[in-house]
A = this chain, B = another copy of it.
Amino acid sequence: MSKPEPGDAAQGAPGEVKLSKASVNRFSLYLRRLERFLSDGVQKVSSSQLGEALGFTDAQVRKDLAYLGSLGQPGIGYNVSELIAALRRGLGTDREWLAVVVGVGNLARALLRYKGFGRQGFRFVALFDADREKIGRTIEGLKIHSMEDMAKVVAETGAELAVLAVPIEAAQSAAEHIAAAGLRGMLNFAPTVLKGLPENFRIVNVDLAVQLEQLAFYVHLTDTKERT
């Protein structure tokens, strides 16, 4: 039923990963919702309760969670804390991930100051820019390196992930540099589709317009309500 089409897996190695982008989105939603259940003092949850809270079918929830191994007990449900731990293990966020930022403009500065990343186990360890003027400077305690030094710095720091925050016209070439430097995946903030990168290099595209679209939708719904 949820056999994904190649194009819906994360950009990179379509055939390899058998989870669609939608499945990964659902895992994130499960995790967020379970964290809220826990903070509300809820200790046990059934697949139908979790599904109902998120708008998924019971069957979908059970199928997704089965991917994490056998966790729930029939008629009793899931232990919330255990399920959170299993999701974190499954998602790979039970450990620290080191990341670099490529392109040190306004977005990079904003991201470096963003409190949410550290909380979820992500730590920035180095910055890169093509602009000779910026190289050697320090921002938020991190040194800006040249693009040419990326492979060396990545090897030294053990960074695995990159955040691409360059202007749209510099995105393709910077992305190729990142993939060649030994980084394993990249969060792409440039609103463009990147091409020809290695199969095992992962890309997640961030489309900030989608969020604004959702806000417009909620406001629009109010209009529709008022008219009826």
Report the Cα distance A206→B213, complex, angstroms: 12
Given A117-B208, A216-B93, check contact A55 B221 (CB 8 Å): no
Q: A16-B222, A99-B212, A202-B215 are in contact. List 18 more A-B contacts (CB 8 A).
A: A4-B53, A5-B52, A7-B53, A8-B55, A10-B218, A20-B55, A22-B56, A23-B55, A24-B214, A57-B59, A106-B106, A114-B208, A160-B219, A185-B215, A185-B219, A202-B222, A206-B208, A206-B211
Report the Cα distance A159→B1, complex, angstroms: 43
- Which residues of chain B are near A217, meaning CB under 8 Å? 24, 27, 90-93
Q: Which residue of B lies closest to A88 (CB)?
A: B213
Q: Which residue of B lies closest to A94 (CB)?
A: B220
**Number of copies of chain A assembled together:** 2
Sorted nearest first, the 10 A-B pairs with minimum C-beta distance are A92-B220, A22-B55, A107-B110, A106-B109, A116-B191, A106-B110, A116-B209, A2-B55, A202-B218, A20-B55
Interface of A is mostly: helix
- Which residues of chain B are near A19, meaning CB under 8 Å? 221
A166 to chain B, nearest CB (A): 12
- Which residues of chain B are near A187, meaning CB under 8 Å? 211-212, 215
- Which residues of chain B are near A58, meaning CB under 8 Å? 1
- Which residues of chain B are near A195, meaning CB under 8 Å? none
Q: Which residue of B lies closest to A226 (CB)?
A: B200
Whether A227 is near chain B, meaning CB under 8 Å from some CB there, is: no
A8 to chain B, nearest CB (A): 6
- Determine whether the beta carbon of A212 is less than 8 Å from that of B52: no
Supply 21 A–B pairs (Cβ within 8 Å), ascending by A.
A5-B53, A8-B54, A10-B214, A17-B218, A17-B222, A21-B54, A22-B56, A24-B214, A26-B55, A28-B214, A57-B60, A91-B220, A107-B107, A114-B209, A122-B209, A122-B216, A160-B219, A163-B212, A185-B215, A187-B215, A204-B218
- Which residues of chain B are near A111, meaning CB under 8 Å? 208
Whether A152 is near chain B, meaning CB under 8 Å from some CB there, is: no
